Amino acid sequence: MSEAQAPKKKFNLNLVQVLDLGCGILHQAFVKQPADKAKVLLKELKGGKRISLGALTLTSKNAEGEVKDSLEVPLSVEMDYSEFVGGGFGFPVFEAALKAMLNQIGQTLKAKKDLNILTNQQTGGALVHQPGVVKVGEQYNVLVICIEPGKKDDIVLKLMFVNPEQYEQLRTTPKDAAEA
């Protein structure tokens, strides 16, 4: 039987674990490593490039908990900043928004609270609504993360700036906005 005819293996994907791992990798890539290297990554993301972050190993286990099958799935990140409002989108603003979002997600995970995950039944993607809010001058911007299946059996972490006008609370002064 050729590879095209082989039945696809079924694996359950734990979104919380993927999110936790992905956030750790994003923290390493943009916060921990030297700013000059992180700026190069951001420039590539702004240019529309999808950046490889490595691979996840998914396993399926039998009733006894023994691994019966495994699959390595590539993990990458991309960014959509088409809804970023105002000027000044550079590394300091991105880093502040990313740190705010990672902090929101980290606190929510630590407290074992609802991550407010919105799923797209058509694409299989999941938007994690734990926004990173950043303020530049008087303008707010909001960063969220999506976990999406890629086109080549991969997983994509998509960082998205979403229109801040949809957040009524940003029309007043939010207490947890990061200043950039």
Burial class (CB in 10 A: 0-12, 13-18, 19+), 73: middle
Question: How are beta strands 117-119 and 178-179 bridged, if at all?
Answer: unpaired
User: 137 is in which domain, residue-wise?
Assistant: 15-60+67-179
The answer to the question of residue 9 being in a domain is: no
**pTM score, whole prediction:** 0.85
* Chain segment 88-100, per-residue pLDDT in tens: 899 999 999 999 9
In a domain, 79, yes or no: yes
- Give residue-wise pLDDT tens across range 89-140: 999 999 999 999 999 999 999 999 999 999 988 888 999 999 999 998 888 9
Residue 5 lies in a domain: no
Other beta carbons within 10 angstroms of residue 20's beta carbon come to: 14
Residue 161 lies in a domain: yes
Number of domains in the chain: 1
